[in-house]
Every structure is written in structure tokens, then in C-alpha cells.
Structure 1
Amino acid sequence: MARVLRVLTRSLSSQTSKAKMGSLSLREDARKIFWGAVSAVLPPNMLQRSLKVREACGSLVLECGGVDFPLNKNLYLVGFGKAVLGMTAAVEQIVGNHILQGVISIPRGMEESLRVAGKREMLLSPGSPVRIMEGAEHNMADESALEAAREIHSLAKKLSEKDVLLVLISGGGSALLPAPMPPLTLHDKQTITKQLALRGATIQELNTLRRALSQLKGGGLARAAYPAQVISLILSDVIGDDLNVIASGPTVSSSYSTEGCLQILDKYDLRNSAPASVRDVLRSRSRTAAHDHFSHVHNILIGSNLIAMREAEQESARLGYHPSVLSSAISGDVRQVSRFYGLLARVICSMMMESSEQQQLQQEIIALGSEMAIPDLNLAEQLHEIAEYAGLGAVCVLCGGETTVLVQGEGKGGRNQELALRVAQEWHNFQGDLKGCEVLFLSGGTDGQDGPTEAAGAFSYPELLMDAKQGGFNVECFLNHSDSNTFFSQFHDGRYLLTTGLTGTNVMDVQVLLIRRKRDIQ
């Protein structure tokens, strides 16, 4: 996956200033690389790459995904998700007054949050024909989101074969588009979903039931809009970018059967205790994708973690690093992921310094990578490519995905800040392996929010724990109480926090590992 890009050389005027500014410049480089990733998936940038209005044969057309759609007072818009307000604003800038009517469902408070953050480019124009409806507080479907779903359904159903429906989808869209199949109520659907989750149902099983019990998910919105042309522009916040999973696939053909859904209920001993309306709906909806016609639908992925990292890759090359994109599917417990990054830095440093332990360290990390079972991770091949340019002295490793944290105590933190702190903890016992190299790690959420904090993530470096101890900080205590944000807020006056503000997008998390041989900066 890694690509060796052209080396961009840099020179600094003072040898002394190089030594003093080394870690600061690494931190600034990491910040620029991270922001390069975020910039690639900001709504204006994504939509400008994806949509264009132009003239063809004397008429106006909307160009999208290599297909032209005639524009003649026939364009409608619906959307749902955390990034959809900014996406809609970007569409308005591109298509002008061609939108006749629209409805978007966004999280409660999102419009005001963007206004307060000064993100005017992500707000709708005065007099916009698009109606904003807010709901799903704390990412939980509610009556407000249900009303928004009804409005979206109503708009879709009235369209004709001459119309074009532009559908904007981003993470959080599932909770913002609840539309239970009658006579099922929202409470009934929430009850069965909660029962399944409590008994250990997998996310795949939960999604299967959600789609089967919904009017709009599992392709339901696309069916409602038939025979209109449907253009679905999708921003992925899930590992693997499965369009069936993002907002439960409202414009994606989905197959399921009554028997398969009932078997899931049987597996968790819920067939008899589930609301009667659940069983009634399932029995009335025996259908497979073979009965659906989706030739009127165009699903286009316009933003993803990998798209973001490709831009970060180019930015790191511009800054003089040799970049390597390892994976866009890093997941699992933050403790195991921190061991991976801690060991990865040691491996790359051993390559740079031509250490005798290089082979042993590589074997250790390949074994750990296998244990993590990351689908797009091919460490043996990727490490071989990194080794080819590690000797040149400046490497940037990029990864993305979403880790999980087992919350302990009542501290304040987020998965990215905890990951950064745990990576520093891993390095604390192996600083000898990093001798001769400058190392910095950054983990940040592309939405600008890491857990219930104002930070997007944090930076860490090998000497962090030693510096913290000298300052009177007990890192172990902070970790034991899931209190990473409090640590980083107090340590060095918060300078190792990554703070971006609300970005208006979300493609999960991005990790940046920078390693530079010391003799190259002294």
C-alpha cells in the first residue's frame, strides 16, 4: 500500500536551532499532516470534487460520478448525518438555485455549534429551499428525528421519472432517519434493538434487523423515490466503507429474509418476548434484493478514511518525509493498539540505526499484527518497503480507523488522547531502542471532537512519562481513571493536546507516526 514519493529536501540555517526546535518541528509537521487529512474530506472540498453544473448541447446538466443528469427545475435534496449541514451548504454553492426543495436531518444543536465556531461556509444561505430539522440528541433516535424521516419519505414519494433526488449521507445518519415499518412504533424498534444488544448480538445482526424493520433503511429510501434518478453522495465513518452499514444503507439494495431475521430472534431467545408488531412486520416483509430494481440509483463514496490519508500522505512528502499508509482499518482495544504503535516505532528506529535487533523486532510486530487481524494490514510487505527508505532518515507512517476504550472511573478523556498516552507508556520502558531517533505520535478524530472533550486528540513522545514524573504527574493514575484529557490539559499547559475545533466532517480517526534520525537535524 505504501508509495515511495519523491524526496523533498529541506535545509535549516542554524545547527543549534535545529537541535532546540527538533521536537517542536515534528509536532508542527504532524499537525500539518493531520490537517491535510481532514482538509481532503471537508464538505466544500469533497463536493467540489464530486459535483459540477455545466452546459451540454445547449442545456444545463449536473455532472456526477461520470454521469450527466439534465437540470430543468427537477432537482430535490435530502440528507441525514453529522456532516450533512456542511455538505448541503457546499451543494448550494455548486448548484445555485437549481434545488427546488429539500429536507435534512442533523443532530440537535449542530447548526448553532457551527455558527458559534465561525464555520459560515457550512451554513445554508438565507432563503434556502432546504428545511433543516434537528433531533437524535446523544445519537439516539427520537420523535424529532422520526418527524424528519417522515418529511424525507414524503418528499421522496412525490417524485417522478423526470426528477433527480440528491441524497447526502454521513455518519450518524442511522439515528437521524428512524422510520419503523407500520404498525411498528419507534419504541418497539428501540426495545428489540436494545434487547438484542444486551444479549450480545453482533453489529451485523443488529443492522439486519434494523433494515428489515425500517421503511427507509436497507434501500427503502431509494425504493420510495422510484422512478426518480437518485444520486447518493456518501461520507463513510465505518471501517471498510460498507455502504450497507453507513446509515444502514437507505439507498443500497439489501437482501434479507423473514426466516433469517426470525432465526436471529431465536438465537437470542427473543422470538416470543419481542413486541408482537416486530413479528408481524417481519412476516409481511419476505423479500430479497432480487425483487428490487436499483438501476435508478447511483451510490458514490465521496469521502473516507483512506481518501483522507492519501492527502496526508502527499502533505508528509511535501514536508520531506517518506510516507507509508499502513492501514485504514486499525481497530480494537486501545491497549493492544498502543502496543502496536510502540513496537512499530522501535522497528523503524532499528532500521534507521541498522540495529542488530532489527530482525527480532520485526518478527514481534508481524506476530502482533496477525493477532490484531486488521484486514488491510500486510506487515511483512509493508515493513520491507519502509526499510528501503528508512535509511534516508525521515519516515511518516499513517494509519486510520477507530479504537475502543474500556472506560474506568469517572475521568474525562477520549480514545485518541488515551491512545497517545498509552503509546508514550509503551515507549517508556524501551527508550534505549529509540536512541538516535526523534519520534512523535499523534492520534486525532477527524471530526475535531475526541470523546466528551474540546480536543480532537493528542501528541506524545518517548520521554513524555519521564517529563511527566518530574512535573509531579502520575500517568498510571490518569490512565486507571480514563482521565487522559485532564492529564494532557495540565501537562505543559496543554501544548500536547490537538485542538482543531469542530471540523464539520467525520471519517473516523487518523494516526501519524513521525520518526527522524537525530544526526539529520543536528
Structure 2
Amino acid sequence: MARVLTLCRTLHQWRPLWAKTAQAWVRSMSSLEERARAVFAAAVEGVQPGSVVRRGLQRRGDELVVGGRSFTLRNNLHLVGFGKAVLGMAAEAERIVGDHLVRGLISVPHGIQETLKHHGKMNMLLKSSSRIEVIEGAKHNLPDADAQRSAEGIRELASALTERDLLLVLISGGGSALLPAPVPPVTLQEKQDVTRCLAAAGATIQELNTVRRALSLLKGGGLARCAYPAQVVALILSDVIGDPLDFIASGPTVQSETCPQEVRAILDRYHLSASLPSSVKEVLNKSSSQWRGEIKDHYHDKDRVLNVVIGSNAIALECAGRKARELGLHPVVLSPGVCGEVGAVARLYGLLSRFGCSPEKEPPPALAAQILQLGPEVGVESWDLHRTMKLIREEWEEGWCTTCVLAGGEPTVQLTGGGRGGRNQELALRVGLELSREVEKSSALFLSGGTDGQDGPTEAAGAVSDGEMETEARRQGLDIDGFLSNNDSFTFFSRLSDGRRLLLPGLTGTNVMDVHVMLLPPQPPSE
């Protein structure tokens, strides 16, 4: 492959005479679908728990280097963690710090150890001699008694530390459900009932997190407060668009004071104040220092708390881009923050396909205008869209290399039916329709996959689609619109071509949201 790419680069300098020959040679090395799957696999591999911890946590003798800062190790390191990817992160961290680790406690999803064993991911499991205790909880991704027990243990461990100690905190997606510690006398059930009512009333995720933090001992910087005066270093694997530190697992190591008045305003806005449990009213009626517990001075000192994002969707896309180049593709990163309703996101990719595969030297201005108009709806800035369109057309003018548009994020699906599927499979299905229903069927190929290996309540991470999908479905008697209206994308892709279009990597042990890969092959020149 290296020799092929070297030759292709040489031919690139001599184009256009040998361009078509070079393109045919590279494409013969693998199909578009095989290369799209390889690019996705590289994105996931780049944010594996072990990989991100090795990059973010370096040992130099008795010094631990994190985020450009050094910390002295003297058998004084304690470790806590919570999240879906934390087991693998903890295993690698313990390998790095060795005997300097005094004790650890991590809160991980119910059944994850057995699942990792089943998938052969033994490197993500702790050794039998580990000094880290593992508690599984949050069954069905909901806070429960086991998760609360682990949260209490983490709080006790942090509260016992002294200024001589170093607390290493490992955080990944799902950490909020695995660290429930309601402020007494609020019970876990009462806290869940309040947030459930807020969600049902239409509260935003920001409002939900504000209320959660107000009723929690550990969220919103509470864990850092408990650990004072110890040094706190948090390594974070982000599953949130934009990587906001106070948002990931509700920011247990990030200063975030929320006054009771702000919380009451949210509850009033959704007409829930009158129906609150008496325990919640009692907590909100106390002063900030009372309902948070005794706040220790200077707990938020920047010299004592360091938060570092070591894994994110942007890092996954960077790794995907490197793999794309190795495979003879031209990578273009659109955005790591694609969001919004899945139908709008599918329209964006359909329009980008038309723009990139248009045989005209200058695509219609109206097409670019439509793409830019969709930007705010799908969370993509106009300059990112301008840049992406410019790079796509530059590659079109070169005319010899397949363009690989990369993006990530977390679109949403409006549930209207009772079928099986997830946002990645539904996005792939909708994009396939966009590509199939263009005036001239698009030659583009699209892949969407969840980096955690699970898309909704299915064993698939996502799926692959192209402009031939609708024709293929018709031949098999599959009604695409019916599957979409029932949110049954998994059943559709399971039946289409015997499920060969499904993306089935298995549990990956990580989670940085979704990765989208769209391949735009070069078009033959107009006659």
C-alpha cells in the first residue's frame, strides 16, 4: 500500500495524463465500502481507553506528567472513576502509575466486566492483584442503589485525602448516572422523579443539569471540594459536543456554583414548584453553603484542580483522517458537532453529495445557498460549510482522488413508531434515500456509526448506504418509508442484502458520540 501511495503522489505531480490510471489502481485495492469501514475503525481505535490514557498520562521516573504539568509520585496516588469507558481507562492508568497507587474505586455500568470478557477485550479488565475496587451499577443507564453505593464510597475516599495526596479522576460518558449522590434528605428516587418531570415538561439539557447539580453532593465541582486540600487531576473522555467540562458527567471536578434562586426559576418555568417533595424544598430553602455542605476555601484553586480532555470526537476524526490518507482518500473534516433532527442532517449530506458529485464546473449557487441555510439547524458553522465546499470542489477540479468527508456529533431522532433502531442506522437509511432519489443517482457512499459500538437497543453500531439502496430495497420488496415511519431501521438493514450493510464492530469500550463518513468518488469529465 505504501508503494501504491508513493506512486500516486508522483502521478499527482504529473496530472492529468496519468491521473485516471492512478485512481483506478488505488480503488482496486479495496471497495469504497471497505475503505469507509476501515476509516470508521481507525476513528474508534484512536479513542480507545488505553490509547487516550497513554497519550494523556505519562510517567517519567517519579514524576507524572499531565497536560504539560508535573506531579511528584511518592506512593500518594488515589484513583476514582465513573463512566462507560472508565474500566479500560483505569486498567491503563494502573499500569502506568504502578506501586504509587494506594487505592482506587470506580463506578462502571452493570455487567460490563462480563461483556468485555465475552468480546475478548481482556486488556480493559483489571488484574486480580489490582488495588482498584470495581462497583457495577446504573442498570439500563439509570441511577440505582449500586451506583449510589459507589458514589458514597468515592466521596468517602476523596474526603479522607490530605494535601500530600494526589487524586486521579477518570471520567467518561455515562458518568452522571454512575455517580448519584443526592443532598440529604433528598432520596435518589425523589431526585429522579424531579428530573423526569422536568424532562417530560420540555426542559433543556442545560436546565436539567442545573437542577441535578443543585441536588447533588458530587456534581458541579462537589468531588473536587470533597478532595480538598489534595491535588486533583481529572482525565476526561468526552461524549458531549464541544467538550464543555462542566457538562460531561455534570462536571464533578469543575467549579460550578448554582444558586437556589436559579433552580427555583427553572422549576417555576415548568410549573413544578408546588408539587416538589418536601425534602427538595428543604434543600432549596437553605443557603448555598448549607445545602452544598461545608465549602472548603480555595477548593477551586487552579493550582489544585487540573481538568484535561484526553479523548473526544475531534480526536477520533483526526485519526480517521490519517487512515483516509493511507487509503488514498482526500479527507475533509466538516465538523465534530453535527446535531439536530436526523432528517435535517440527512438532507445536508444529500446536498453535499450533489455539490461534490456535480459534473458542472460551477455548481448552481442555489445549491450552496441551501447547504448554508441548513447549517444552524444541524449545528455546523457557516465557515465550516464554506471551507468544506471549497475543498470538495478543489478535489473535483483535480479529478483523481475520492474525497472523504468526515464529521461527528449526535443527531436526534423523533420517535413515531415502535421499531428497533438507533440514530446512526436511521441517518444512514435517510441519507441512502437522499442519494437514491437524486436526479442522477449519486455515486457517493455514506456510513454512520456510534463509537461505542451500540446504536440504540441493537447489536449494530450503524450502517452503510449509497445511491443503489432504494433499488435494492425494491427488488427485495422492502418499503423504506414504512420502516422509517416505524423507526425500524435495524430491521430494514437486517433484511437488506442479508444484513451486509450493518456495521457490527461489537462493544468498543469507548464512547465519543458518532462518526459519519461520506465518500465522494471523482466524476468522469463531461464530454
- TM-score, normalising length: structure 1: 0.91
Q: Secondary structure of the equivalent of 1:94?
A: helix
1:27 and 1:440 in contact (8 A); partners too: yes
RMSD: 2.6
Change (3 A) 1:122 1:405: same
Structure 2 counterpart of 1:93: 95
Structure 2 counterpart of 1:476: 481
Give the superposition deviation at 1:372.
3.5
Deviations 1:377-418 (A, max 9, x none): 632233123322232232111110011112233221111111
Task: Please tell me whether residue 509 in structure 1 is matched to residue 511 in structure 2.
Answer: no
Change (3 A) 1:24 1:473: farther
| Residue 108 of structure 2, aligned match among 106, 109, 112 | 106
Question: What is the CA–CA distance in structure 2 between the aligned matches of 1:492 and 1:425, rounded to whole Å?
Answer: 16
Question: What is the CA–CA distance in structure 2 between the aligned matches of 1:349 and 1:189, rounded to whole Å?
Answer: 52
Task: Please tell me whether residue 29 in structure 1 is matched to residue 35 in structure 2.
Answer: yes
Structure 2 counterpart of 1:299: 307
Structure 1 counterpart of 2:490: 485
Question: What is the CA–CA distance in structure 2 between the aligned matches of 1:7 and 1:364, rounded to whole Å?
Answer: 39
Change (3 A) 1:37 1:230: same
Question: What is the CA–CA distance in structure 1 between the aligned matches of 2:59 and 2:26, rounded to whole Å?
Answer: 52
2:338 and 2:379 in contact (8 A); partners too: no
Give the superposition deviation at 1:10.
9.9
| Residue 250 of structure 2, aligned match among 248, 251, 273 | 248
Give the superposition deviation at 1:139.
0.9
Question: What is the CA–CA distance in structure 2 between the aligned matches of 1:366 and 1:126, rounded to whole Å?
Answer: 55
> Which AA in structure 1 matches 2:216?
S
Deviations 1:403-452 (A, max 9, x none): 11122332211111111111111122215163xxx311000000011111
2:83 and 2:107 in contact (8 A); partners too: yes
Moved segments of 4+, more than 4 Å = 5-12, 17-24, 287-292
1:77 and 1:103 in contact (8 A); partners too: yes
Q: Secondary structure of the equivalent of 2:411?
A: strand
Structure 2 counterpart of 1:124: 126
1:327 and 1:376 in contact (8 A); partners too: no
Change (3 A) 1:6 1:446: farther
Q: Secondary structure of the equivalent of 1:87?
A: helix
> Which AA in structure 2 matches 1:366?
L
> Which AA in structure 2 matches 1:417?
Q
Identity %: 50
Give the superposition deviation at 1:119.
0.2
Deviations 1:111-153 (A, max 9, x none): 1100110000100011211110011111110111000000000
Bigger mean CA offset, 405-414 vs 70-79: 405-414
1:160 and 1:226 in contact (8 A); partners too: yes
> Which AA in structure 2 matches 1:207?
N
| Residue 63 of structure 2, aligned match among 61, 64, 68 | 61
Residue correspondence of structure 1 range 134-153 to structure 2 within 5 A: 134-153=136-155
Question: What is the CA–CA distance in structure 2 between the aligned matches of 1:7 and 1:344, rounded to whole Å?
Answer: 30
Give the superposition deviation at 1:20.
13
Deviations 1:179-212 (A, max 9, x none): 0111111122112112222222111111111111
Structure 2 counterpart of 1:221: 223
Residue correspondence of structure 1 range 280-429 to structure 2 within 5 A: 280-286=282-288, 293-295=299-301, 296-350=304-358, 353-355=359-361, 357-375=363-381, 378-393=384-399, 394-429=402-437
| Residue 197 of structure 1, aligned match among 176, 194, 199 | 199
> Which AA in structure 2 matches 1:205?
E
2:432 and 2:467 in contact (8 A); partners too: yes
Question: What is the CA–CA distance in structure 2 between the aligned matches of 1:357 and 1:227, rounded to whole Å?
Answer: 61
Gaps of at least 5 residues in structure 2 are: 12-17
> Which AA in structure 2 matches 1:159?
L
| Residue 48 of structure 1, aligned match among 35, 41, 54 | 54
- TM-score, normalising length: structure 2: 0.91
Bigger mean CA offset, 382-391 vs 139-148: 382-391
> Which AA in structure 2 matches 1:297?
V
| Residue 169 of structure 1, aligned match among 171, 175, 195 | 171
Structure 2 counterpart of 1:466: 471
Bigger mean CA offset, 178-187 vs 407-416: 407-416
Q: Secondary structure of the equivalent of 2:210?
A: helix
Question: What is the CA–CA distance in structure 2 between the aligned matches of 1:28 and 1:442, rounded to whole Å?
Answer: 11
Deviations 1:4-63 (A, max 9, x none): x99964999x98x969977961011111111111111101110110112212xxxx1111
Q: Secondary structure of the equivalent of 1:103?
A: strand
1:346 and 1:433 in contact (8 A); partners too: no
Question: What is the CA–CA distance in structure 2 between the aligned matches of 1:472 and 1:92, rounded to whole Å?
Answer: 54
Give the superposition deviation at 1:84.
0.4
The count of aligned residue pairs is 505
Q: Secondary structure of the equivalent of 2:274?
A: coil
Q: Secondary structure of the equivalent of 1:391?
A: helix
> Which AA in structure 2 matches 1:463?
E
Question: What is the CA–CA distance in structure 2 between the aligned matches of 1:390 and 1:7, rounded to whole Å?
Answer: 20
2:39 and 2:323 in contact (8 A); partners too: yes
Structure 2 counterpart of 1:432: 440
Question: What is the CA–CA distance in structure 1 between the aligned matches of 2:162 and 2:204, rounded to whole Å?
Answer: 39
Give the superposition deviation at 1:81.
0.3
> Which AA in structure 2 matches 1:38?
V
Q: Secondary structure of the equivalent of 1:432?
A: coil
Bigger mean CA offset, 183-192 vs 425-434: 425-434
Deviations 1:260-319 (A, max 9, x none): 111112222222221121122123242699975322110000011011101111111221
Structure 2 counterpart of 1:70: 72
2:53 and 2:310 in contact (8 A); partners too: yes
1:105 and 1:177 in contact (8 A); partners too: yes
Structure 1 counterpart of 2:210: 208
Change (3 A) 1:96 1:431: farther
Gaps of at least 5 residues in structure 1 are: none
Question: What is the CA–CA distance in structure 1 between the aligned matches of 2:237 and 2:170, rounded to whole Å?
Answer: 8
Deviations 1:145-191 (A, max 9, x none): 00000000000000011111100000000000000111111122112
Deviations 1:245-274 (A, max 9, x none): 110000000021121111112222222221
Give the superposition deviation at 1:334.
1.0
Question: What is the CA–CA distance in structure 1 between the aligned matches of 2:437 and 2:362, rounded to whole Å?
Answer: 19
> Which AA in structure 2 matches 1:273?
S
> Which AA in structure 2 matches 1:360?
A
2:229 and 2:299 in contact (8 A); partners too: no
Question: What is the CA–CA distance in structure 2 between the aligned matches of 1:24 and 1:412, rounded to whole Å?
Answer: 31
Question: What is the CA–CA distance in structure 2 between the aligned matches of 1:334 and 1:510, rounded to whole Å?
Answer: 14
Question: What is the CA–CA distance in structure 1 between the aligned matches of 2:139 and 2:437, rounded to whole Å?
Answer: 43
